[in-house]
Amino acid sequence: MLGEETLPTNLTVFNTWDGVRDETGSSACPWAIWSRSWAVEENRHGDLLRTYIYLSGRVDMLMIEKTMQYTLRAGLENKTENNPYLGIVYTSFQEPATFMTHGNMARLAKEGGHPVLARVCGTIAADEKRHENAYTRIVEKLLEVDPNATMIAIANMIKNRIVMLMHLMHDGQASNMYDHFTAVSQRLGVYTTHDYADIVDFFITRWKLENLKSLTCEASGAQYFICRTPFMLRKLENRAKKSESRQVKFSWIFNKEVSV
């Protein structure tokens, strides 16, 4: 839910990218129409998930609301530098990550005996898949018309770690809340390093990155880096599995302790 509720940050960042920003707030240019339509769907996702968890009675809604307030106020630093190439590449990675997250949540909810939540997450995952397809096709076109700059942009965004939208999250209490959040996600299989490696693998194949020829030296170096990334990510994941777990408290669930 928290990722979906960062809608204001999503649209703010999108409108910093040169050439695609909405100059008036209601521009009729295709990019502006797309960004607003995209934001509307993400808003619906957040509303639905927020309503579900409120009605569940399982969480401390005051702390959820505080977390959202602080997180939205903190904003996002995703290192896209007002560059539409970097921005579109960033979003093309974010959408499959969100698709996987909701898909995995749907599976876990079904296994846990919560069919309504499973259906909710499955429906949202389907929307995210459509968003993924759109951004994937945009990057395909960029690779067709400007392969060198696009290859470099892909490598740069991977080096910048494709930070999640709520990477500056906090609840006013835990300063390292995002680290704890991602650790729980990794342990439960909601979104893992393995998933990220699979996404990079998918794009290497889908965008035919290994097959691009006649690149500049810088773009060729970027190509080599990208194609090695899945291997390096899986190596890091195997190393992380050997680390010991510890207990941390989450304010969202009334300060109950969770293994991370």
- Residue 23 is assigned to a ligand binding site: no
**The two three-digit tokens of residue 260, written as one number:** 């991370």
Q: What angle do CA 151, 129, 146 make, to 5 degrees?
A: 20
**The two three-digit tokens of residue 229, written as one number:** 């990334």
H or E element that contains 256: strand 256-259
Q: 176-209: b or e for each residue (b if 16 or more CB lie within 10 Å)?
A: ebbebbbbebbeeebbbbebbbbbbbebbeebeb
With H, G, I as helix, E, B as strand and everything else as coil, classify residue 248: strand
- Residue 45 is assigned to a ligand binding site: yes
Length of the chain, in residues: 260
Q: What is the distance between the terminal CA atoms of the chain, rounded to a whole angstrom?
A: 20
> How many CA within 13 A on the CB side of residue 12?
12
- Residue 144 is assigned to a ligand binding site: no
- Residue 111 is assigned to a ligand binding site: no
Q: Where are the alpha helices (DSSP H) in 82-210?
A: 84-111, 115-145, 147-159, 177-188, 193-206
**The two three-digit tokens of residue 246, written as one number:** 């510890």
H or E element that contains 257: strand 256-259
Q: Where are the alpha helices (DSSP H) in 6-29?
A: 7-14
Q: Could you list the residues known to form a binding site for Fe cation, using ranges.
A: 4, 42, 45, 95, 128, 131
Q: Which residues are annotated as a binding site?
A: 4, 42, 45, 95, 128, 131
